[in-house]
Each structure stands twice: as structure tokens, then as C-alpha cells.
Amino acid sequence: MNKTIVIIAILLLTISGISLYRLFTLPTPEITQEGTSQQTISNETQEETKSSQEAGPQQSEQPQEQPETQPQENQTQEEQPETMEENEISVLSDRFEPSQLTVNSGDLVKWVNNDNKQHEVVCTAGETPLFDIILNSGDDFVFVITENTDCQDPSIQGMEMSIRVR
């Protein structure tokens, strides 16, 4: 009986430790001195980051920027846009402006908090979480879009938007 309790306790501690390690080693946006946060990790580089994290923590983990004209899996060189385009989404008190946006795969999207209060922006690609960022008034956040994305501020009912990739 005592051995069973000890084994269960060890298993629970091990699982808790792994969960805490993963929680604290997920990539987080970098906040610059101007109050601007930037993260340019696409889904492909998230997988690379995840596998490097499982190998152990490194001294300085910086988000990797993607080359401007890197072809995606199903696109040829001619179909790939020549330059990354930056699109801007304004975060207002009760909505995103625009609420729908169409971009090329690999384009940059910048969210700018133009409200006088803090907002949370949560974006997913289908069921896959992409990021969850807090923007203070005046802050902005840049992300490379590679697939259809839906975003919301979960604290404000109906504050949603969608980004579609051509």
C-alpha cells in the first residue's frame, strides 16, 4: 500500500514538473524599449522551436525571422510574393479594424492598440493556437501570417476578426 502511494506521488511530481517546464519555456514575444512587442514565428518555425526546447534551454532564444521570398510547400517561385507586405489592424475599444483581411502567405500583420485601455489578442489557425498577447495602449505586435487565422479579444464579447491567406 505504501509503495503504491509513493509511486503515485512520484508520477504526479514528474508530470507536474514537465508541465511547468513546458509552460515556462514556451516562446514569448519580446518587448522592446518603445513598448512594442514583436514575434515573427510561423507555424513551421514553432515546430523547430518546440524541438529545440525539448533538447534543453539555451542561453538566448531569439525568434527567427523568415527569409522574405522563401517559397511555401505548395507554391513555386513564380507564385510566391517578391516582398513581405505589412498589413495593419487597429485594436479599438470594441472591435478590430478591419474585421476581415486577406493577405499573402508570409505577409506581416501588425496589431496596433489604438484604445486607451489594455487588450488581449488571441489568434488561432483552426484549432492550433498561434499566440496570445497583451497590448497596452499604444503598443503594437507583428506576426508573420502563413495560414488562415481567426483572432479575438476574449474579454469583449463579439470582438473578433479573420485573416484569410490567398
**3-class DSSP state for residue 89?**
strand
Q: Between 157 and 26, whose confidence is greater?
A: 157
Q: Between 33 and 86, whose confidence is greater?
A: 86
The whole-model pTM stands at 0.53
Rounded CA-CA distance 160/97 in Å is 10
Give, rounded to a whole angstrom, the gap between the first and last alpha carbons of the chain.
61
Please give the average per-residue pLDDT across 76-97, as a whole number. Answer: 78
Q: Name the least confident of 60-74, 87-101, 121-135.
A: 60-74
Domains in the chain: ranges and CATH = 29-53+84-165 (2.60.40.420)
* Percentage helix, strand, coil for the chain under 3-state DSSP, each rounded to 5: 20, 35, 45
pLDDT value of position 77: 41
CB 9 within 8 A of CB 112: no
pLDDT of 25 higher than 80? no
